[in-house]
Amino acid sequence: MKEFDIVVIGGGLAGSSTALNLSKKGYSVLIIEKEKGENIKPCAGGMASSMKKFLPLDINEAIESKIMNVEFRWKSSDNVVADLSGESPFWIVRREKLDKLLLNEALKYGCEILRPAQVEEINPQNKNWIIKCSNKITYKSKFLVIADGSQSKWAEYLKLGPRKPKFANTLAIRLKGLGNIPKDSVRFEFGFVKYGFAWAFPLKDSVNIGLGTFINNKSLEDADLNNKVIKSFGFEDLSFQTVHKRLRIWNGIHKLNGDRVILVGDAASLCDPFLAEGIRPSLISSYYAAESIDQCLCTNNNDLNNYSTIINNEWGKSMAWGKRIAQIFYRFPRTGYQLGVKRKTAPQRIAQILSGEMNYEDIAKRVIKRLLTKSKD
């Protein structure tokens, strides 16, 4: 049996960054990842540069665009542009590169990875976890990190996070060229996708296009809709490949830790239920997960409750308002666009949300009141 201080299940963004944070502190860490690697990640890669403070390394190599403007449109017209002037507060990263950077750095610090491998059984035993894998080797660890993403099997097994996880349906397309998207702008396109929106985030020489629907699990398997969206972003060649993914979104304040176990990233249901932002909470949760585990290992105790409290305070409170805004905005999108996006002060507020300077709690009460009164008119 091989022994580690920490076993991390899932070697994506949240898993690799937690592993890096912990290996840097000198702990022995094993990541168990089910995929071989090399797949394109269905993620548009938009992240607030303010997340630098939660990143355990310089990620310059993975940043492909620095964004100065955010464009909003309603059915290809009625444009609104939010200026993110000053030092670029919003970056587009190539997710495959970012995840690789984090993983390679963790490996440099002595972290090990087992891939491709499936975890078959997890059992607590005498203040340790016993983890049985598809390679028939058994691993023992003092702490366990669950980072197996949106389709997390282990969060439910350990009865952590929401009892009934909520999902957004998403569809991702990566196209060569930039279409009509300026190199330093991202675009949010409303009105085409029911209960959601479409986005186009530029990489160096391609664009990450996405469609997301956040309530009622509306299907996105609709060629006409996809073609309309692609054309609106300035692409003519309609022979693209799509990747569908059910994205686990935030659905209430829940316990995100158990005895010697912690959920991070999508497995913890942290993704923003309004805009599908999941990189930021993955990095925040990875950072605090490592801090809490370190604290326990240093003081020889098992109490990780502080982790759930911090994440719920730092992220959950804002998401509670994000969820309310989403439920109203996506039910009355035309009104939402007029009152939430087209207002004089809106572009600046939106820019502040995207850059992490403001959260939904700061703006929500006024926005919801406005939407509710007008949608009844």
List residues near ligand FAD by CB under 6 A: 9-15, 32-35, 42-47, 118-119, 147-150, 153, 170, 172, 201, 210, 245, 247, 265-267, 271, 276-280, 282
Shortest Å distance, C-beta 372 to ligand FAD: 28
What are residue 139's DSSP bridge partners?
Answer: 2, 131
Nearer to ligand FAD by C-beta: 247 or 310? 247
- Helix (H) or strand (E) segment spanning residue 235: none
Nearer to ligand FAD by C-beta: 26 or 37? 37
Q: Give dist(CA 6, CA 185) in Å, integer.
A: 40
Q: Beta-carbon neighbour count of residue 79 at 10 Å? A: 11
Shortest Å distance, C-beta 301 to ligand FAD: 27
* Cβ atoms 71, 185 nearer than 8 A: yes
Shortest Å distance, C-beta 376 to ligand FAD: 33
Per DSSP, the chain holds a count of helices (H) and strands (E) of 10, 18
Q: Which residue is nearest to ligand FAD (CB)?
A: 278
Shortest Å distance, C-beta 213 to ligand FAD: 11
What are residue 245's DSSP bridge partners?
Answer: 170
Nearer to ligand FAD by C-beta: 279 or 353? 279
Shortest Å distance, C-beta 231 to ligand FAD: 19
* Cβ atoms 206, 174 nearer than 8 A: yes
Nearer to ligand FAD by C-beta: 264 or 367? 264
Q: Give dist(CA 115, CA 82) in Å, integer.
A: 43
Shortest Å distance, C-beta 90 to ligand FAD: 10
Nearer to ligand FAD by C-beta: 335 or 355? 355
Shortest Å distance, C-beta 113 to ligand FAD: 11
Q: Is 31 strand, coil or helix? A: strand
Nearer to ligand FAD by C-beta: 196 or 347? 196
Q: Which two tokens stand for residue 174?
A: 């990566």
* Cβ atoms 233, 200 nearer than 8 A: yes
Shortest Å distance, C-beta 374 to ligand FAD: 29
Nearer to ligand FAD by C-beta: 189 or 277? 277
Q: Is 213 strand, coil or helix? A: strand
Nearer to ligand FAD by C-beta: 5 or 33? 33
Shortest Å distance, C-beta 189 to ligand FAD: 14
* Cβ atoms 186, 47 nearer than 8 A: no
Nearer to ligand FAD by C-beta: 32 or 230? 32
- CB proximity list for 141: less than 8 A, separation 6 or greater: 3, 4, 5, 6, 7, 30, 128, 129, 131
Angstrom CA distances, 278 to 79, 126, 275, stand at: 26, 35, 9
Nearer to ligand FAD by C-beta: 140 or 342? 140
- CB proximity list for 193: less than 8 A, separation 6 or greater: 211, 212, 213, 218, 220, 225, 229
Phi, psi of 145 (to 5 degrees): -120, 125
Shortest Å distance, C-beta 179 to ligand FAD: 17
What DSSP assignment string belongs to 137-149? -EEEEEEEEE---
Task: Map tokens 């305070």 to a residue.
Answer: 313
Taking Cα atoms as reference points, which of 240, 279, 244, 249 lies closest to residue 45? Answer: 279
